[in-house]
Amino acid sequence: MDKKIISAGFVCTLVLCLSSCAKFLEENNETQYSVDYIYSTPSGLELAMNAVYSLHRTLLADNSGNESPTWWALERGTDIVATCGGTGNFFGIYDPNYLKPSAAQVLYMWKINYQIISRCNEIIWYGEQMEQSEELKRTLAQAHGFRAQSYFHLFRIFDRIWLNTVPVTSENVNDERDYRAATAAEVYELLYSDLNYAAENLPWTSYEAGRFNQGAARLILAKVALWKKDWETALQQIDLIDQSNAFHLLASTAEVFQNADLNHAEAIMVQQWSENPGGNFSVTTPKGNQMCTLFIAQYRTALGGTEEESCSAENWGYTFGRILPNPYLLSLYDEAKDTRYNDWYIHKYRNTRKVSVQYSGKQVAPGEYLPAYTSGSGDPRYTMPGCTKWGDIYTKTPSEKRGYKDFILYRLSDAYIVGAEAALRLGDQTKAKYYYNKTWQRAGNAEFTASLTMQDIIDEEARELSFENDRWFFLKRLGILIDQVTKYAGNPIYQASMKGRTNLPANPHFIRWPIPESEIINMGAENFPQNVGY
């Protein structure tokens, strides 16, 4: 896999960081990557753009560098998840004692996205002053795309955000700033503008693995249009994606998340991971992400012994078991027909040790499967089903805690579900079923011919896009987040995972996050008040 944007992006990140330090030593720059070079040449801006990709990947490192609690906080708090402890668990159970303006993850989400926006503002502002070329426009289009993605992310999480498209320069650093919450109309205007520019100036598919492309820009624009209730634009964008023939569903669901390299025909945009410098979180000892540990039960603890003894590739390696599929999600699949039920989930764990182990009151011999928890010894979390989408048996040994498997940010299935909803909203049953059947039939189900409803789409979104960080936004947009969490969140066999069912209804303001405490202080509460309820 060609992942040049990783190492180049890391070099540029260092340059940008070091450029802000005081000139306590007067030395000649031995490389071409000076600040002047970065912001005065198209090739320099390309390096600056590479740094944005590296910065975006740090969302998986977050403030603690452990368990990705910020990236996956929203996934924990949906109707299809049993959230099972660990860093950031309070987002899953909507704990009012911890979900507050001072929470580290709240600040990290705000900070990293605004850092991405700041870098993109610089690239766009300096780039617009240069002579325009196709290569430069391609760089600027990626910056427009990333800026829109971050603003859209913030807007959906916090509801109230500060819009700024002007970079900080030596000329304006002391200027007063209008810290006020942008109106929804202002947010949509910028998002449409940014994403249209990106779509018009990018190729359909990435010219280099992991790059922003036209497909990603049009899919994000379609999602923005759904939030705006602009059904025509949403459907138009999906029609363009479908008619481009740039992307194709893979033949089987088993192939979608197989292997470490996920740059395949169905993937519209893929976050690149590698052991190369800059392709993880370290330039010395490689330090991958921990997605591989989060979505599969902590079976290793039930098996006992050392990590080398208890962890196996068959059971998907070392796991923490933090965010697991719940009974409601699994009930949405037809076990006998829907290939996703077995292709994307592990339902039981084998004793791969050489000795018998005791679990849930039963003796489990080598080679036998651990029983589902009923009572007695053990913990119900150890044998609950897991999702294998981000499981990594490709880049690491079974006992290692970090991996380098790529992460799919957007894929064609997501676009088809957006298209089905947009067509349904416009009363076009034929086109709605055309898009709905793309994922439904690929999974082995018979063609859907009845009258399609929003409930069908709500259920298919869960079946197809589970654990891909979309569900919370989807439910919130439809106005059913509280209702769905109240009815279905958690797993009854692990009562601690059920708290969201009562905590969220009691605190309805939790459908949006608080503005970080430090940001309220910086902007001034009189200019940018805290979100209601916090």
Strands 386-387, 345-346: pairing is antiparallel
- For every residue of 245-290, DSSP letters joined together read TS----SSGGGTT-SS---STTEEEEE---SSTTSSS-SSS---BS
C-alpha distances in Å from residue 350, one per residue of 282, 291, 300, 304, 315: 35, 22, 10, 13, 7
Q: Are 266 and 413 in contact (CB under 8 A)?
A: yes
pLDDT tens-digit series, residues 163-201: 999 998 888 888 889 999 999 999 999 999 999 999 999
The predicted structure's pLDDT at residue 3: 54
The predicted structure's pLDDT at residue 483: 98
Structure tokens at 82: 């049993």
Look up the pTM and report it: 0.93
Cα distance between residue 459 and residue 384, in whole Å: 21
Which residues of the chain carry a pLDDT beneath 70? 1-34, 62-65, 278, 281-284
Q: Are 127 and 44 in contact (CB under 8 A)?
A: no
Q: Are 352 and 300 in contact (CB under 8 A)?
A: no
N-terminal to C-terminal alpha carbon distance within the chain: 46
State residue 414 phi and psi, 5-degree precision: -60, -45
Structure tokens at 530: 């805290």
Cα distance between residue 252 and residue 2, in whole Å: 25
The set of residues, in sequence order, having a beta carbon less than 8 Å from that of 45 and lying 6+ positions away, is 38, 39, 123, 126, 127, 130, 136, 139, 140
Strand partners, 364: 357
- Give the number of other CB atoms < 10 A from CB of residue 334: 13
Structure tokens at 357: 């182990």
Structure tokens at 108: 């990290």
Angle at 420 between CA 415 and CA 425, to 5 degrees: 125
The predicted structure's pLDDT at residue 63: 61
